Structure 1
Amino acid sequence: MAGRSSPLRPSRRGGRRPGRPGGRSSRPSGSAAPGARPRAAPADPRQGVRRGGSAAALPARPSSRGRRPCSSPWRARTTPVGRIVAEESAARLRSMQVVVCPSCGEENPAKFRLCGYCGTSLVAELPAQELRKVVTIVFSDLKGSTSLGESLDPEAVREVEARYFEAMRAPLLAHGGTLEKYIGDAIMAVFGFPRVREDDALRAVRAAHGMQRALAALNVELEREYGVTLANRTGVNTGPVVANSDPNANQQIVTGDTVNVAARLEQSAPAQEVLIGELTYQLVRDEVVVESVEPLELKGKAERVPAYRLVDVRAPASGALEEGGGRGAPTPFVGRTGELARLGEALEEAEEFSACRIRLLVGDAGVGKSRVVREFRLRVGDRARILRGRCLPYGDGITFWPLVEIVREAASIDPEDSPAQAIDKIAALMGTEGPEDGEGPGIVERVAAAVGLAAGQFPVAELFWGARKFLEGLARTKPLVLAIDDIHSAEPTFLELLDHLVESVRGAPILVVASARLELQESHPEWWDAQAANRIQLRPLGEEDSGRVMQALLSGGEVEAAVRARIVAAAEGNPLFIEQVVSMLVDAGTLRRDGERWVSSEDAAELAVPPSINALLAARLDHLAREERAVIEPASVIGLVFATAAVTELAPDVLRSAVGGHLMTLARKRFVRPDATDDEGAYRFSNLLIRDTAYGALLKRARATLHERFVAWAERVNKERGREQEFEEILGYHLEQAYRYRTDLGRVDEEGREIGRRGAAKLSAAGRRAFARGDTPAACTLLRRAVALLDETDPLRVELLPELAEALTENGSFDEAKAVIEQSRALAESLADARAAARTTLARVALDLYTAESADAEGALATVQGALDLLTELADSANMARAWRLLMFIHGTSGRYDLAAEAAAKVADHAHAAGDQRLVGLGAMGYAATALHGPTAVADAIRRCEELSEEVRGDRKAEAIISGVLSVLHAMEGDFDRARGLYGRGREMLLDLGPSVTAASTSVDWSRVELLADDLAAAEAGLRADFAALDALGERYFRSTVAALLGAILYERDQLEEADRYTGLAAELADVDDAYSQAAWRATRAKLQARAGESETAIATATEAVRIAGATLDIDQQADTLADLAIVLRLVGDLESSGPPLREALELYERKGDRVSAERVRSLLEGVPAS
């Protein structure tokens, strides 16, 4: 029933109750009930000395020599307790620091904020800082208050309104909200200020729900006393705001879109209802019941806003905040065999000694503590009774809340049970499982008092006794396991209860498995130290286990390698982070299933922090001291890995001397860790998402300033080390970010434009180097980013646009290349820049050649020659090399390999003069192609290509292309092993450089090698793969050749229909001046026609192929077409006429040095009548 409270449900008031129920008794913690006779118990040396007590009074464990053998699956080698304690003590001593008082010179412990000798402040005061925070706003407005004045006296109106505001204020404060302001009859509260908590959104929704119930209760009173009732409407919205870190500042929250939407949601809500926004719902969806409403048209919002009507809020249950809990199928369990073994050993130990043992599972949020507990429970099964409790982070009456949940589960108490009914159930349980010495009633009284069912007052020691006896009773028939979550939120009194159980339980095997985040080290340091021997720390999963978690979440489908690597790297072994990132990507449609694979529709590098993880990490960051925040924030600007010296440079002046110490503290708190790959005092964030969250909290203006300062520092340091060029891309990124944030904040001034120019210069230099080494995708990205940083008329933009178009063309991004060329043309025209116009013309011709949009080879020659003449006048060697490269391309396509070879030499000459190694490589690639296809003999071509390969050493793309040419040349000589090694190496190099038109056309060489080696299946597979890749790019130039070759292979494999289809595609795609493709598809089509009985047509088609090849200098293709003509003549029954073309083909093959093809023609000549 709504509004009805469970007898075992805490009231929700803000903050923890620091006190303890009742006063402290002088009764020793291990004593029995009043009047009972105490029992002695010998000590167990394994338990050691505990906080506030002597050695544990437990029976000693037998030595291993006389102990019975154990075959338990839990056994595993564990670290000796003494070594753990010693190592941790040593680590603690190493981390201890002292602070010297600037006034009296005395040394003080590092944690002292005031000198213990003279009182002088030891901490430099940092100025207040504004931060970006994700908060949740509750906006509620009283409706119809004006009409109250018509029916009530002004004094009564005032009293009614005062009672209303007090009733609304109470749940907001109880759940930790900050009342920001009263606006007329409206209340606005903020959750997440001054400190962010991971459950701020849930707190806000619970508060809004509490306001509904409070108003319902108030209305009962108001109607009885005044004859009136009140109505309100409430909106809850989560989003970013700017907050001042100084709690004394006049303006703490900057109103903005998040607040405005909350107010608009309130205005759209029906009376007495609560509407919550989309992000709020995403954060609380597992804890609430809602109804979707039609997306709202809100004032000031361009698009409709999703909203949900709050129906109910689920009561908190034990484990509700379990990692992965409540989000559908739990994250799969992997690894953790050692941790499970230690828990199993602890349970056996508790059984062996009939005593209480405790094991503390500690680790970062989401690392898998609850998963380990869940798996342990499954493995224990019926062997033990397992009960569960959880420490609450806030509220009143929460000290013994874990005990409340344990008692409720053990006694089967329902939420609807009255206190009396609940006590009866506890008494019944004790009647069957309690002690037989008449202590049952006393136990029930004390347990009922501890869990809030009875008003009786007992000293804490009496409550401890009752709880212990209750639990001992439950463990009489079988071992008892108490799984207690979130012990870092425990009240000190509850920790004392756990100590009491360990020290005093006798005759009952009990294992307490308490899970805690590492914050326990800060919230309860003494108890943390006392549990050193009992701690089991969960480390992040390894890469393999992380991959298994991701595969299981995605139902086993294969994930793109780049996406998988990005998610695994971002999550850093945290299962919850993996789950949330995967869930976010799937929900957003960014990661989608395609058959048996999961593919990403966006750049895998662009992963946002999921809202739930952002809330968790932001809460951790908000618990850092101000000085620690002032260190981790500039570190986040530098990147995932950062040098101590760089952080020191960016930190506030008053903190610079202490940066090293604060980084050590942050490492101890697991925000960062030393970077093992660097020996210069570098650290790295423990998790990429921590870095992103810390970075996201900075104001954009602060980010811009820190990016700029980092570049200034890095440029100075790199210059001193002679490494200016090495980090250009990284520094370009930082300048790019600074420029972007400046543009976000308003119009960019000259200083901002200069930052953009500097960033563009560095990014473009990195892009050119990427293009030179053949990394076309990276070149496109870097050049595109560089262009985006420049004003429309910036001289560098005029220079970069044609380069970007060239890179995009090579990458197969033809539509974008076309758009960039148009931009470049218009800009060159507006500036009357003849050089830029000529450069743009060259880029346009190159694009036309790839896409076969222009069939006028002579027109293309004339256009390029005109640009070349102008560039020659300007003595522009680099662009002259580009022009000659296009001439080489056009001549080679037409089969004029003598002119193509001359053009290739010109490319090399001008490229060397310009000092452009990429263009040198392009000239070498062109020359190698002319050696393969032209009249150069194979032996001479091999020698020249090997020389070229040495000349371009380091240019991986040029090396790869020349290796492909060499593979065909060696195959012609019959050295197939060497040929396959060469083309395999070349193909691997190209694929390693990333997708490109060049990489997708390697089968042109590959298939010729396999065709010569007579492995038709391998040739077909390569051609099919490349045809599909080129088809996806929209490329035509190489695709026509691939289609023609694929048709020829399919014919040889007797797949005649497929062969006909691909020869048709080649005919459709091939440019009229593409001699190789035009001759190749006709040669195959002629054989198909002959097989179909079309004799005259077949001969005519084959003859046309011979004519086209004969007009070129490609003597190998001339021989190929002659041999195909001979085959056509044989197919039509004219064996005698096949002799002359075969003999001519043999002469050409021998002249070229193609021994394999020559031998095949000789075999065809056998039996042919002499002419």
Structure 2
Amino acid sequence: MTTGAARPARRNVVVVFIDLVGSTELAERLDPELLRDVLDRYYQACTSGISEHGGVVEKYIGDAIMAVFGIPANREDDALRAVRAAHAALQRVRELSDGLAPTHGIQLDVHCGVSAGQAVVIATPGADLRVIGDTVNTAARLQSAADVGEILVGDEVARLVRAQARLEPVPPLTLKGKSNPVRAWRVTSLEPDAGDGDAQIPLIGRAAETARLRAAYREAVRDHRCRVVTVLGVPGIGKSRLVRDFVHELPAGVVVLAGRCRSYGAGITYRPIAEMVESLGDDWPDTLEEASGAALRGLVTGDAARAPRTGEDAGVEEIARAVCALFEALARREPLVVVWEDLHWAEPTLLDLIDDLTTWLVDVPVLVVRVARPELLEARPSWGIDVGRAVAFELGALDAARMERLVAELAALRSPDDEVVAHALAASPALCRRVAESSDGNPLFAELLLETLAEEGEDAPLPRTIQALLGARLDLLDDGERDVLERAATIGHAFTLDQLGGLCAVRPEARLDVDETVGLLIRRRLVRRGEAAGSFHFTQTLTRDTVYAMTRKDLRATWHLALADRISEQITEQISGPAEVSVWSSSGEESSHGDLTQHLETACLLKREVRPDDPLLPALTERAARALVGEGTRALHRKDLPAAIALLERGRDLLPAGHPDHRPLAVRICDAGLARGESDRPYAALDVAERMLPGDPRTRLTCAVQRETLAVRFGTRPASAGPFRDLLSADPGDDLGWCRLHHLEALLRIGEGRFGAAEAALRDALARARSLGDRYEENRLLSGLCELAQWSPTPLAEGLSLCAGLSARFGADRAMLLPVLVTEARLLALAGDVAEAWAVLHAADRHARDLHLNLAAAAVLQVRGLVESLVDRHAAAEELFRRAAADLHRLGQSEPARTLELYAARELLRQGRHAEAAGELARLRATAARPQARGELILLALSARIASLDGDHGAAGALAARAEELLARTDDPCLCGDVLADLARVHHAAGRTGPAAEAAARALRGYAAKGAELPARRVRRWIEEERLL
């Protein structure tokens, strides 16, 4: 890692505050010279532990000491180092106090606070270190809250050290300057070693690697030779777990020695050998020379702890010979397996010793297993290849299927306290898949993500434990590699050399050779090549996320904006305001719009956080908001409602109060929420618009119209458009207000069964939308007009012509095409072209399923039921109507669902099951409110038919008369024809031949005017059977 002239850097750090208790009283009692001497010794007691554990003293504040861990490089155990340093300070100050008490008559004690998080670090050689951020303040407040002789740690630190420390939770602390209570933990003791952190993680998908270890062991035993296997892998991938399982399966009698290298501390060079020697206990080979035994025992007792780290002096050679002699003596008794763990932390002296073992150990069955991270190959490149008696392999990421299985097994192993999480994962394959995908094929990451899920829920940030592991690895990079990687992370998980080159030209800190640096990053296994030439992607998504999180926000903002500018140049369509956003894009353009929006929004939000006074921020905010609204409108257009709502609301939230786009945005968010069946969000969107545009009469009136529209849609109360027309008359130029008013009028007319008037209102609305220049409103209204063609007096031929025009207009936009296809299928079926209707319905059904549009799928079921009914397959029609009704009920569309239930009852009647039909109607009357005009007409006609079949011709006649009255209020030709056909049967059953013939003739005239040949054919057949005409 390069550590030249430093620049401000965003880093994960651990901050420790240590403060002397009772310093004011001490200063009052002691002479200044004596006080200085005591404080110097106190500082030395504290700072010695800090430096031994790898920390840096940032500053002294009176008698308080602030230390930082994670500078100049992150280490995955920085939190543990910090807690150990605080613990060492407590112990050493107490020892100092015990020594001073008899002579000075004083007692010293300290209290400590430890916090972890992100901070900006400025460290220039020869200058003061500065660490800035909330993490510093939190550590200071925790120290103030700690009792005498106590260490309090924050929640993040607790997560990082809980495997190595005993912690007790304290009640949430109200700390000075903190807006919310802070969770804290008291450190009661430290554990000497973490042990096997992955012991609970199942070993999955490693059969091939296990087989290679077994084969090497068999060869060593068979040939009486030393064999070496090097197992490489990134942190958490399961290296130690693999080797431990292999060792557990070895035959009885095999001697296994294992030692782990440490990242820091005294005597770390030979620490793994000391562990191996200590594990033998008294089981020493009789043939081992006394000198060798003494040298090895000295490692355990500490006599050799200060053995040289490098060089060829006698101490190094003597220990090497002793280790070889021990291994050889043990292997002559039984096969020997020697496991060296975490060799990436090994000192060169130990690596040299291990390198020489294969030469020294001859004619004995020894298997040496070297376990390390890939960075070991920088010091020992030959260890990564198969040569002679040595083999090497690297554990790769698990595939998706194995990761899902692993996550499922991990969830099942959770403790009773985490039963809720285990149940949630078991009940939600999607959640299980998400954890598996987020883990990047890394078993340890899956375990850590599950822990975070258990503690913080599904929206938890990336666990600090994972950040610590990845951050330590990233800090091995030099400045050039880090600069390129940070830019790549800003681009995203995937990137190209062209994109990187463009970003490296923006505020370059140094001249960067992008091609060469990317090659180095590939060798470090941080990125890999993509399929297309010049494309690359991060090997792990979590690595990308960690790099991005550790990149300074001002740099991120600059690079995101540069990327947005570059994409803007490539997009031919001009991003403009909500009323002018085009919704027509190819798949490539969709991707470009999405990338542009993401980069603009992120640049804006980052600028707000770190440069709120930037004079360019207002223009950037406007640009980002427009991009979000444009992308949200496209999502709304293709019926991706969750995405549409999220994008539109984010765009709205960027706009300042008073911005005129708050009004059209409220309307679109209201539309999206309504389409999702949400009752609260549409009203909330209107409330926001009125708050953002207080006193604006157009906004107030548009929101009032929208609330009336919601009342119609939800059926919560009677609605009216009259008062708004009078108010809008004073503002003829308010195209959006008039457009929405005409739409409300159309909905009201539809509810009354006046479909011709509804068409006229929609055409008025369409004219206003075109005047407004709003393609979203225009397409929405065109789709509505098309759907109305099914029920209005407009002849089928005109309706089919409209469908053809809209099919050409919407093209490959399947979401907009769907209602057109449904309408076209219904009109074709009515016209008698059943085969073509089925073909269109199949296409519509496929689109609805592909796009997961449930309302559209229910509409397809409804038209399928109509077609089945028209061809006299009434049982099939009944089932389809019931399925469609059930789907609509689930989607909160109760009014149309009840109408479809009436259709199903009519199909029962047509099957001759009139008793069941009667029961169904009774149920609907008992459970539902009075239906709208369409439903009421069908209900009256069916009730009259059933009364007639029951022989109650008087009741049937009364119901028929009421239906006749209501028929005058609707202009739906097919509805009128269906009702009149039923009434003709009622009159005929009562012997009223004239009224029966008249009703049948009127039905035929209505069908003919519409062009509905198939239902007319059914009526003509009945007339012929009954010889009415």
Question: Normalized against structure 2, the TM-score is what?
Answer: 0.84
Give me the identity figure in percent.
31
What's 1:755 paired with?
620
What's 2:721 paired with?
860
What's 1:480 paired with?
336
Q: CA deviation at 1:612?
A: 0.9
What's 1:850 paired with?
713
Matched AA of 2:537: R
Which runs of 5 or more residues in structure 1 are unaligned?
Answer: 1-110, 114-124, 412-424, 591-601
What's 2:788 paired with?
930
In the alignment, structure 1 residue 204 sits paired with structure 2 residue 76: no
What's 2:585 paired with?
none
Q: Distance in 2 between matches of 1:720 and 1:822?
A: 32
Checking the alignment, whether the CA contact within 8 Å between 1:1047 and 1:1063 is kept in structure 2 is: no
What's 2:404 paired with?
547
What's 1:372 paired with?
242
In the alignment, structure 1 residue 775 sits paired with structure 2 residue 636: no
Q: Distance in 1 between matches of 2:670 and 2:656?
A: 18
What's 2:578 paired with?
none
Matched AA of 2:486: E
Q: CA deviation at 1:998?
A: 5.6
Checking the alignment, whether the CA contact within 8 Å between 1:1067 and 1:1078 is kept in structure 2 is: no
Query: Which of the numbers 646, 656, 672 marks the counterpart of 2:499?
Result: 646
Residue deviations 1:116-167 (CA, integer Å, cap 9, x gap)? xxxxxxxxx9863212222112212222345556877766655444333322
1:116-127 correspondence runs (5 A): none
Q: Distance in 2 between matches of 1:404 and 1:1046?
A: 83
In the alignment, structure 1 residue 268 sits paired with structure 2 residue 268: no
Change (3 A) 1:1170 1:812: closer
In the alignment, structure 1 residue 446 sits paired with structure 2 residue 295: yes
Residue deviations 1:460-519 (CA, integer Å, cap 9, x gap)? 333233323333444446533333321111112222232232222234322222222122
Checking the alignment, whether the CA contact within 8 Å between 2:4 and 2:125 is kept in structure 1 is: no
1:735-1134 correspondence runs (5 A): 735-745=600-610, 747-748=612-613, 750-825=615-690, 830-831=695-696, 840=703, 843-856=706-719, 859-860=720-721, 863=724, 867=728, 873-874=732-733, 876=735, 884-903=742-761, 918-934=776-792, 945-946=803-804, 948-969=806-827, 982-983=840-841, 985-990=843-848, 992-993=850-851, 1003-1005=861-863, 1008=866, 1013=873, 1014-1015=875-876, 1016-1030=878-892, 1038=896, 1041=899, 1054=916, 1063-1064=925-926, 1066-1067=928-929, 1070=931, 1074-1080=932-938, 1104=962, 1107-1109=965-967, 1111-1121=969-979
Matched AA of 2:516: G
Change (3 A) 1:1114 1:308: same
Q: Distance in 2 between matches of 1:754 and 1:1146?
A: 68
Change (3 A) 1:910 1:671: same
Which runs of 5 or more residues in structure 2 are unaligned?
Answer: 308-313, 413-421, 576-587
State which drifts further: 1160-1169 or 696-705. Answer: 1160-1169
Q: Distance in 2 between matches of 1:1089 and 1:486?
A: 88
Change (3 A) 1:371 1:1135: farther
Change (3 A) 1:159 1:531: farther
1:214-225 correspondence runs (5 A): 214-223=92-101
Q: CA deviation at 1:589?
A: 2.5
Q: Distance in 2 between matches of 1:634 and 1:936?
A: 60
What's 1:701 paired with?
554
Change (3 A) 1:862 1:221: closer
Change (3 A) 1:470 1:1038: farther
In the alignment, structure 1 residue 143 sits paired with structure 2 residue 21: yes
What's 2:357 paired with?
501
State which drifts further: 1002-1011 or 163-172. Answer: 1002-1011
Change (3 A) 1:1159 1:794: closer
Query: Which of the numbers 164, 167, 177 marks the counterpart of 1:290?
Result: 167
Residue deviations 1:301-353 (CA, integer Å, cap 9, x gap)? 22221111111111115544xxx45xxx42x3332333222222222221221
Q: Distance in 1 between matches of 2:328 and 2:69?
A: 42
Residue deviations 1:21-80 (CA, integer Å, cap 9, x gap)? xxxxxxxxxxxxxxxxxxxxxxxxxxxxxxxxxxxxxxxxxxxxxxxxxxxxxxxxxxxx
| Higher RCO, Cα 8 Å, sep 6+ | 1
1:165-244 correspondence runs (5 A): 165-223=43-101, 226=104, 228-244=106-122
Change (3 A) 1:288 1:904: same
Query: Which of the numbers 392, 407, 411 marks the counterpart of 2:262?
Result: 392
Q: Distance in 2 between matches of 1:477 and 1:1167?
A: 106
Residue deviations 1:743-762 (CA, integer Å, cap 9, x gap)? 22465565211111122222
Matched AA of 2:605: R
In the alignment, structure 1 residue 619 sits paired with structure 2 residue 477: no
Q: Distance in 2 between matches of 1:197 and 1:924?
A: 62
Q: CA deviation at 1:892?
A: 3.0
Change (3 A) 1:988 1:717: closer
Change (3 A) 1:641 1:1096: farther
CA RMSD of aligned residues (A): 4.3
What's 1:684 paired with?
537
Matched position secondary structure for 2:616: helix
Q: CA deviation at 1:397?
A: 0.9
Q: Distance in 2 between matches of 1:513 and 1:615?
A: 27
Change (3 A) 1:1100 1:130: farther
Checking the alignment, whether the CA contact within 8 Å between 2:818 and 2:856 is kept in structure 1 is: no
What's 2:322 paired with?
466
Change (3 A) 1:408 1:710: same
Matched position secondary structure for 2:168: strand
What's 2:368 paired with?
512
Matched AA of 2:234: D
What's 1:661 paired with?
516
Q: Distance in 2 between matches of 1:691 and 1:444?
A: 50
Residue deviations 1:334-376 (CA, integer Å, cap 9, x gap)? 3233322222222222122122222112122222323332443
Q: Distance in 1 between matches of 2:956 and 2:924?
A: 17
Query: Which of the numbers 404, 423, 446 marks the counterpart of 2:274?
Result: 404
What's 1:71 paired with?
none
Q: Distance in 1 between matches of 2:500 and 2:352?
A: 42
Checking the alignment, whether the CA contact within 8 Å between 1:1122 and 1:1142 is kept in structure 2 is: no
Checking the alignment, whether the CA contact within 8 Å between 2:163 and 2:194 is kept in structure 1 is: no
Residue deviations 1:709-734 (CA, integer Å, cap 9, x gap)? 33334434657999999734422332
Matched AA of 1:408: E
State which drifts further: 1006-1015 or 481-490. Answer: 1006-1015
Q: CA deviation at 1:392?
A: 0.8
Checking the alignment, whether the CA contact within 8 Å between 1:1136 and 1:1169 is kept in structure 2 is: no
Matched position secondary structure for 1:496: helix
Change (3 A) 1:910 1:448: same
In the alignment, structure 1 residue 358 sits paired with structure 2 residue 358: no
Q: Distance in 1 between matches of 2:406 and 2:834?
A: 45
Q: Distance in 1 between matches of 2:128 and 2:895?
A: 68
Question: Normalized against structure 1, the TM-score is what?
Answer: 0.75
Query: Which of the numbers 580, 596, 605 marks the counterpart of 1:731?
Result: 596
In the alignment, structure 1 residue 1148 sits paired with structure 2 residue 1003: yes
Checking the alignment, whether the CA contact within 8 Å between 1:363 and 1:537 is kept in structure 2 is: yes
Query: Which of the numbers 294, 297, 303 marks the counterpart of 2:180?
Result: 303
Q: CA deviation at 1:657?
A: 4.8
Matched position secondary structure for 2:57: strand
Checking the alignment, whether the CA contact within 8 Å between 1:991 and 1:999 is kept in structure 2 is: yes
What's 1:162 paired with?
40
What's 1:64 paired with?
none
Checking the alignment, whether the CA contact within 8 Å between 1:1020 and 1:1050 is kept in structure 2 is: no
Change (3 A) 1:618 1:1167: same
Residue deviations 1:526-571 (CA, integer Å, cap 9, x gap)? 6557979622112222222233333333448457676566545543
Change (3 A) 1:1158 1:236: same
Residue deviations 1:625-644 (CA, integer Å, cap 9, x gap)? 11222222222222222333
Matched AA of 1:468: C
1:50-61 correspondence runs (5 A): none
